[in-house]
Structure 1
Amino acid sequence: MKRYCQTLELYDDKELIEAYVAEHAHVWEEVKAGIREVGITDMQIYIDGNRLFMIMDTTDEFDMERDYARLATLPRQAEWEAHMAKFQKAAPGATSQEKWKLMTRIFKL
């Protein structure tokens, strides 16, 4: 298993943040299926203010560059990304991999 931790900022707008959280209560089934199909076995997103933190566990074979690119081609993924973009502080048209910044572990117990 591989683990990736990533961060992303939302626009600092209470209504947008509440809407973003609400959207994640019912992520489209095609999006969840695509995430699993590329080798992501678990994904959790946490929020603090307008900062998101994602923990993503994958198969050993998962390659972030290759499999994120593949994920973007699967059903409804591009539509979901476009739908979420209005909440996210990122360049217009940025891919999911460009928006979510990979974090480096600095401590492990």
Structure 2
Amino acid sequence: MFLLLLLLMVACRNSGNKASEKGNGESDQYRMAVEVVLEDEADMNRLLSQFAEIKLEKYAWKNHVVLFGDKSDTAGIGEIIRTSDIPYEIKWYLHPFYIFDKLSCCADTTVSSSWNDYILTANLVEDTVLQNEYMAYHKTQFTKWPEVAQGFCHAGFQQLLVFRSGRQLLLVISVPSDKTLDELDPKTVENNPRMVEWNNLMSRYQEGIEGTSDDETWVFLDKVSTEKDLKR
């Protein structure tokens, strides 16, 4: 049993560090995201109508829209960006620097056939030394902080991806479709003080993006099914 767990931890380490150790071209099997930051939130519905034919899932928070999914579903995005008359900034999140997969990280390798994806975003603090420390912690997390992956396994997370564009982080947490993140997230710290320590340590490297309140760090983007969902 010990040998089996050891082998699983090695597999998890290799999977989790693939993007950061081997470079951008090695993580193509994972999904990607595109973020659109509007100058004027009033353009949100018009923007979504322009992206209506793009198969990627859409998520929104204030003037931010994130399109997330398989890279094969990104066809047409470049042309929309080129021809759109809406003022906005584009950020690409093509390769996660941190990858947790239940299949390669957990003793129970049963993967749900259907997932719910939760997308959150935050900034790294504006200090390059601290930013480098944050990235270094994630590069060695599977070996030096194995309790973090154990917490994700205990919670039943299917996948967790972290992307970066400049200072901004994009976090994607995938759970079984018959569960919610509110239901599963507390399980990550059950009987796991090391996971609590990790969360407290990481908080010193993170802050909210523009538009958040003083007490906000990570914000959730809401999934958008139709234009009606955006009318608040």
Global fold match (TM > 0.5): yes
AA matched with 2:170? F
- Counterpart contact for 1:34–1:74, Cα < 8 Å: no
Matches within 5 A, 1:3-18: 3-18=117-132
Q: Which has the larger radius of gyration?
A: 2
- 158, 161, 171: which is aligned to 1:44? 161
How high is the sequence identity, in percent, across the aligned residues? 22
Deviation at 1:106, TM superposition (A): 4.4
Q: Is 1:21 the equivalent of 2:135? A: yes
Q: Distance in 2 between matches of 1:70 and 1:35?
A: 8
Q: String of CA shifts for 1:45-101, please: whole Å, max 9, x gaps.
A: 0111211001121112332223222323341111001111111116xxx8xxx6421
Q: Greater relative contact order: 1 or 2 (C-alpha under 8 angstroms, separation 6 or more)? A: 1
Q: Distance in 2 between matches of 1:65 and 1:72?
A: 13
Secondary structure, aligned partner of 2:206:
coil
- 202, 206, 219: which is aligned to 1:88? 206
Q: Is 1:67 the equivalent of 2:184? A: yes
Secondary structure, aligned partner of 1:12:
coil
Pair 1:66–1:86, CA change in 2 (3 A):
same
AA matched with 2:219? K
Deviation at 1:14, TM superposition (A): 1.1
User: Runs of 4 or more off by more than 4 Å in structure 1?
Assistant: none
Q: Is 1:34 the equivalent of 2:173? A: no
Q: Distance in 2 between matches of 1:81 and 1:105?
A: 25
Q: Distance in 1 between matches of 2:220 and 2:148?
A: 21
Count of residue pairs the alignment pairs up: 101
* Structure 2: gaps spanning 5 or more residues: 1-114, 209-214, 226-232
- Counterpart contact for 1:42–1:56, Cα < 8 Å: yes
**Partner in structure 1 of residue 222 of structure 2:** 104
CA RMSD of aligned residues (A): 2.1
